Amino acid sequence: MANQVQQHFETLLHHGASISDLAYLRILQLVHLQMSALVEDLKVYELPHVSPRTPLEATEFRRTITGSAAVTPMNVNTITALLETAMEELFVPYTEGQRYLERECRSITSLYANVLADFARYHVSSRMNCTLERCLANKYLAGKSAKVKVFHV
């Protein structure tokens, strides 16, 4: 089961990475959120630690849980620890060291660069249009002033 979850998780991440760094990061975040919720839901089904007060209660309790080991704090804590360890191990390859932060920085840098490129293109084109308009206006004004000088001379 864990292998299937990990394979599906990796497939989602590879698909997200093929789209963009931002898609990869959002899929990683979404899977982490969903896996955390699943782990918390599974923890609800743990058997609580019961301390029998008398040997008779202990015997009765063991009879009600036929086929399973006696419930001890270690068994209950082992389930919780197992779930939490599995959760951590699933995400370690993707968040280890500076990997997550480097990916986040690349994503922010590319998004910022795209916005700045659009901004720069707009201003270059508006400057070119403005220069063209000025050039035509200057030629027009220069032509009128030349005609006016001709008439005055």
Q: What is the dihedral of CA 84, 86, 87, 92, to 10 degrees?
A: 120
End-to-end CA distance of the chain: 99
CA 10 to CA 40: how far, in whole Å?
Answer: 22
Q: Which of 37-51, 57-71, 110-124 has the lowest mean pLDDT?
A: 57-71
Give the chain's length: 153
Q: How confident is the model at residue 65 (pLDDT cuts 50, 70, 90)?
A: low
**Closest to 22 measured CA to CA, from 146, 112, 138:** 112
pTM over 0.85: no
Burial of 44-76, coded b for 16+ CB within 10 Å and e otherwise, reads eeeeeeeeeeeeeeeeeeeeeeeeeeebeeeeb
Q: How confident is the model at residue 47 (pLDDT cuts 50, 70, 90)?
A: low
CB 90 within 8 A of CB 35: yes
**CB-hemisphere CA count at 13 Å for 66?**
2
Q: What is the pLDDT of residue 133?
A: 64
